[in-house]
């Protein structure tokens, strides 16, 4: 099928909305009489439009709107709660691991190979955390759509 | 929870100068001010989400979640922008992620009203059968609604916004961050694809 040009598309869409000016109507009618492609598109899209214009969504019950803000507020509150829980848990975990590693390294009974292993794991974990945080920070600084991504 | 009373204004409200004041208050952590913004745009948000996902519960859930995320990010809202345009990007991305993650197709017939005013018929007005023309029109609407779900979610949302929710080209251009001519062009191609889906469905 021959593609319509930009002007034909604009006039077609305006015609479908009944928004043509007098001059545009004359121009559109001239184009219609000259192009069978445009005529076919006009007829078929008009039929589709006639149906979509009569389609309506069910209206939700009025109570939906009365309780809407409460739903949003609960989510904001829960978000804060999860943030605090996460921060608290991260602190507990970090301190616990730190204490455990420290006690293992300070204990004279701990074999050297175990001390080296624990030290390597701790160092590797620290490097991993710093690397991830640095990457997140760089992304946050440069991504203009940061607030819209999931 | 701060008490907020909502105005029952038109569904698609244009922003005014006072909106910036509400946003400034939100940025200071005033949840009541945010409640007014929610009240102003909740219906628009719900219907836009419904266009993307097709079910009442999901549309409600996603539009509320988008508001919660908007509040969380309101500190980064750039002055001079319209709240709804910014919020729409959050909502759209949430909805698209949701649709893409959903394995099954939704039960698409449940969101469409049975009469053209969008009312649910609570009891039959008449026991007489519907005239043929009305039956045909209702069947056509159902077929077209089903065909809408064969489309890409962005095409569907665009057709829903323009034809079912009567959103202006100016508003659509602002939401889609492109010129009105581009909106018309996208709508034209979306309409063509819808027609093709419809033809396939009707054999």
Q: Is residue B5 part of a domain?
A: no
Q: B22 and B91 share a domain?
A: yes
In this prediction, residue B17 has a pLDDT band, given cuts at 50, 70 and 90, of low
Q: Which residues pair with A57 in a beta bridge?
A: B112
**Among candidate residues B192, B189, A43, the one with its CA nearest the CA of residue B200:** B192
The mean pLDDT value for B79-85 works out to 86
In this prediction, residue A144 has a pLDDT band, given cuts at 50, 70 and 90, of low
In this prediction, residue B92 has a pLDDT band, given cuts at 50, 70 and 90, of very high
Q: Which one has a higher pLDDT value, A143 or A71?
A: A71
Q: Is residue B108 part of a domain?
A: no
Q: Is residue B109 part of a domain?
A: no
Q: B94 and B42 share a domain?
A: yes
Split into its structural domains, chain B has a count of: 2
Could you tell me the CATH number of the domain that includes residue B57? 1.10.1740.10
pLDDT above 70: residue B108: no
Question: What gap in Å lies between CA B104 and CA A20, rounded to an integer?
Answer: 42
Alpha-helix runs per DSSP H in A58-149: 62-66, 68-106, 112-142
Q: B144 and B192 share a domain?
A: yes
Dihedral angle over CA of B178, B184, B190, B192, nearest 10: -150
Q: Is residue B184 part of a domain?
A: yes
Domain ranges of chain A: 6-52
Residue contact B141–A51, C-beta within 8 A:
yes
ipTM above 0.90, yes or no: no
pLDDT above 80: residue A6: yes
Q: How far is B76 from chain A (nearest CA, A)?
A: 8
pLDDT above 70: residue A146: no
The mean pLDDT value for B168-176 works out to 90
Query: Which chain B residues touch A48 with a CB distance below 8 Å?
Result: 144, 191, 194-195, 198
Confidence at residue B112, expressed as pLDDT on a 0 to 100 scale: 66
Which residue segment(s) compose the domain that B36 sits in?
Answer: 18-101
Could you tell me the CATH number of the domain that includes residue B168? 1.10.10.10
Which range has the worst mean pLDDT, A33-42, B110-119, B174-183?
B110-119
The mean pLDDT value for B3-30 works out to 66
Q: B27 and B95 share a domain?
A: yes
Provide the number of CB pairs (under 8 Å) joining chain A to chain B. Answer: 129
Q: Which residues pair with B112 in a beta bridge?
A: A57
């Amino acid at each position: 099928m021959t593609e319509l040009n930009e002007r034909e598309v604009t006039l077609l869409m305006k015609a479908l909305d009944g928004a043509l000016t007098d001059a545009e109507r004359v121009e559109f009618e001239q184009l219609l009489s000259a192009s069978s492609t445009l005529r076919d598109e006009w007829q078929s899209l008009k039929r589709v439009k006639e149906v979509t214009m009569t389609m309506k969504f069910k209206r939700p019950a009025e109570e939906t709107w009365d309780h809407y803000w409460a739903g949003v507020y609960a989510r904001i509150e829960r978000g804060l709660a999860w943030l605090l829980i996460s921060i608290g848990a991260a602190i507990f975990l970090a301190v616990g691991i730190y204490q455990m590693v420290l006690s293992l390294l300070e204990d004279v009974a701990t074999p050297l190979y175990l001390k080296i292993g624990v030290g390597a794991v701790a160092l590797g974990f620290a490097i991993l955390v710093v690397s991830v945080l640095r990457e997140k920070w760089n992304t946050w600084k440069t991504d203009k759509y940061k607030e819209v991504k999931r | 929870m701060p008490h907020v009373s909502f105005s029952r204004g038109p569904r698609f409200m244009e922003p005014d100068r006072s909106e910036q004041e509400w946003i400034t208050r939100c940025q200071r952590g005033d949840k009541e001010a945010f409640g007014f913004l929610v009240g102003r745009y909740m219906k628009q948000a719900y219907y836009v989400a419904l266009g993307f996902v097709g079910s009442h519960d999901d549309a409600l859930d996603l539009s509320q979640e988008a508001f919660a995320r908007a509040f969380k990010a309101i500190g980064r809202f750039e002055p001079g922008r319209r709240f709804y345009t910014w919020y729409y990007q959050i909502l759209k991305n949430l909805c698209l992620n949701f649709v893409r993650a959903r394995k099954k197709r939704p039960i698409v017939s449940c969101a469409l009203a049975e009469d053209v005013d969008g009312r649910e018929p609570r009891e039959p007005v008449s026991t007489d059968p519907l005239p043929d023309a009305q039956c045909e029109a209702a069947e056509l609407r159902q077929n077209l609604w089903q065909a809408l779900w064969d489309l890409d979610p962005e095409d569907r949302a665009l057709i829903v916004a323009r034809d079912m929710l009567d959103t202006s080209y100016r508003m659509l251009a602002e939401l889609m961050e492109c010129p009105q001519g581009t909106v018309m062009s996208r709508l034209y191609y979306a309409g063509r694809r819808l027609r093709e889906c419809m033809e396939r469905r009707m054999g």
